[in-house]
Amino acid sequence: MLVDPALVLAALGLGPETPYEVEPFGETPGSPARFIAGGRTVIVRRVYDDTSAMNHAAVSEALANAGFAHMARLLGFAGDATIEEEVPGATALQLVPPPGSAEAAMQALAAFHALPVVEGLDWGMAPADLFPEEDIPLHRLGFASEEREAARESLAAARRALLDSPFGFAHRDATAANVLLGQGTAWLVNFGAAGYGPQLFDVAAFLLTSGLEAPGRRVLAMTYARARGIDPENTADLVDLLGILWGIGQQLGLPRRIIESLGDDGATEALKLAASRIETGIRAPAGGSPVAAAIRKALWG
């Protein structure tokens, strides 16, 4: 556990002599843990990286102050770790989404994006600064030179669509691993990367890592759009297109993340499952964007 148990006990109003139990959710540094003491059970969450840990704590506090309903209730802090109420949910990497839960996740993301919160990373940056114009190193994913060249113009068009898409307060790591699902409800967790960014990347991240078929992803993207009051058909097409960009970026970063998870078999398997779902999802059209169709034709035939 990366947090001094004495700090957790003090935050819960318990004395240092109080017996406690810690049940880590993984072996990777930064895995959350269930903390049991004084007849109470809470979740202690501290991201391993110091900057991300401080960002998670700051964003969690801002969300709590804003009355954001789609998060576990924040009970206090132990240093830069959050102490959260345990919620009765699991991720789509652990189970088939319960009835109504994927729709609830779209509502949660829509509510998150609509918050008048200016907290987290990269505020003050322009979209073009976050996503500079540069070649995507597709060779690292095994694409031949003729495939890369055929996709170049369409990928540039996809970047332009990304820069024109809604930017604002975003989770920026809204994969299935960071969305807890219950029947008809959903909670967002782990705000270590949250801040200014492309909001439709959040939608694509959840949809592509949750194991949903293309028609279901389109319906859910439209659910999100209606909750935000924006055009459902166009939004679904854009989520599908931007999902290709997001998914390629995730696949490029997969080797590093797997190395970081070595020693934690559960975390490694979750990464591989998510990567497999992303690979399947970005190949299967869930929208009608001609740019997306051109990218798929160039890269996957």
Q: How far apart are CA 183 and CA 259, in angstroms?
A: 34
Mean pLDDT value across the chain: 96
| pLDDT category of residue 28 using cuts at 50, 70 and 90 | confident
pLDDT tens for residues 268-295? Answer: 999 999 999 999 999 999 999 999 999 9
Q: How far apart are CA 229 and CA 162, in angstroms?
A: 19
Cβ 42 vs Cβ 85: under 8 Å: yes
Short-list 26, 45, 10, 298, CA closest to 155: 298
Which residues pair with residue 116 across a beta bridge?
A: none
Spatial neighbors of 210 by CB under 8 A, at least 6 apart, are 92, 97, 102, 176, 179, 277
| pLDDT the model gives residue 116 | 97
pLDDT tens for residues 38-59? Answer: 999 999 999 889 999 999 999 9
Neighbours of 229 (CB within 10 A): 8
- Whether 1 has a pLDDT exceeding 80, the answer reads no
Strands 20-24 and 33-37, bridge-based pairing:
antiparallel
pLDDT mean over 83-109: 96
Spatial neighbors of 191 by CB under 8 A, at least 6 apart, are 55, 56, 59, 60, 63, 120, 171
| pLDDT category of residue 2 using cuts at 50, 70 and 90 | confident
| pLDDT the model gives residue 30 | 83
| pLDDT the model gives residue 154 | 98
Cβ 12 vs Cβ 42: under 8 Å: yes
Short-list 21, 170, 173, CA closest to 91: 173
pLDDT mean over 225-244: 98
- Whether 228 has a pLDDT exceeding 90, the answer reads yes
Torsions phi, psi for 225 (to 5 deg): -60, -45
| pLDDT the model gives residue 27 | 87
- Whether 262 has a pLDDT exceeding 90, the answer reads no
B/e letters for 265-290, b = 16+ CB within 10 Å, e = fewer, are: eebbebbebbbebbbebbeebbbebe
Cβ 73 vs Cβ 65: under 8 Å: no
| Residue 141 CA from chain centroid, whole number | 22
For the chain, domains (ranges, CATH) are 5-85 (3.30.200), 101-300 (3.90.1200)
In 33-73, DSSP assigns E strands to: 33-37, 40-45
Residue type, 51: T
pLDDT mean over 225-250: 98
